[in-house]
Structure 1
Amino acid sequence: MQKPLMAKATAVWLVDNTTLSFKQIADFCGLHELEVQGIADGDVATGVKGFDPIASNQLDQAEIDKAQGNPAYVLKIKHNPAAEGEEKRRGPRYTPLSKRQDRPAAILWLVKFHPELADAQIAKLVGTTKPTIASIRDRSHWNIQNIQPIDPVALGLSKQSELDAEVQKAARKRSDDVMSDDERRKLVSTETSLSMSDEPRLPSAIAGLENFTLSPKAEKADTTNYRDAESFFRKAVPDAGERVDMDDISEEDDLDDDAVTDPEADIDHEIDAEAEAEAIETDEALDDDSDDNDRR
């Protein structure tokens, strides 16, 4: 389908002067619907002056009225005999001088958010060279510290439809390449795989350990020092034929419990010992005084 001249400027004029839907304007101008929405929001094509397609004899007012009455209607450009036989210009995309300083930011955005794109695809979208893309990929660009990733569509360096087409193309190519070249080289032929032995082989890192065994001393656990619960609590285990008096056991348990759980008895014993020591010291002091008096 033939596109109008100055498609983005024409889209700006249609957004400002008609009630056409974003899809109708996008189909007529060869843009993406989101790009037209960005023009309406003021995020895309800021500062671009609208180009009247009626004054340039590319569209009729009757065609616009028909499209405004039917949202499903597709606008048709007027036939231009001078455009017949015109071939598409080949070569790198032309970037205006005012936007050339924005190309590194667009390249960084594509490298960051679409790593599946090849350098040739990025060069086609933004209109740059492969050395520039490589310098931004390996962060050796002279101004890499000041470059911020910006969508090339928002910068006006490419169209959303072109970006989507390149991303889909890269995704299809990536899905077709199931294995890389290195993985294909590692594959062996059918004859080689059939001639291999069925026994599993140990990795080279642990080769030589297949005959390793533990010593008998290490394998046999020493359990002679372990005690059972009865010996741990100092309770004698009676023999099978010995008769046990339950009253004696209960009395011993009570004594043990009193010795363990009665702290007042220990405190009284300590107080008595201290009092006895003080009494001995007092007696010794009195004896010394009496000896001194006798000497005098």
Structure 2
Amino acid sequence: MAQPATHDRVILMPMSTAAWLVDNTTLTFEQIGDFCGLHKVKVEAIADGDIKVPARNPVNDGYITQEDLDHCMTDPNARLTLLQTDLPDPMLRAKGPRYVSVAKRADKPDGILWLLKSHPELKDGQIIRLIGTTKNTITSLRNRTHPNYSNLRARHPVLLGLCRQDELNAAILKSGGQLHPELPEVETSEQPEVEFTNWE
């Protein structure tokens, strides 16, 4: 199991911190696990929605700086540095930083399913970067062995809030695919939901 970095201060809610980093950054699972003291497998489970916890922003909580976070997102070999303080860690309160919806992580399989159906040219690595998922999850959806497969619906990941339209368009064009003319680059709230009910 990954061990927390050597420091006196500890992260009070490591899984919630990991959930926020999964949803809001492009850090690798190794970077997140190293910072939070969690095994990579547990971070992957959080990313896939198998472990459902509310998310806490470590920048707002005073654990890291935005500059350090930005640097580590550009360098996958870099490691986040936990800020030291002479003050005791704050008591947990009911009101805190913005929570990322747990439901959004649960929607990831639906978004991946849409990508596999609509853009089979996308590589697994592209889907992982777009959605923040794992290769095992993509494989299980492609092979229809995902434990919740029978209950899933193929839904547009942008409409689910899992990625931005410009990010998706860039990945599609890079892989040699074609953009959907019925989904122009408009605000997410203006886009109709796309479902596939006859996919065999």
- TM-score, normalised via structure 2 length: 0.40
Greater relative CO, 1 or 2 (CA 8 Å, sep 6+) = 2
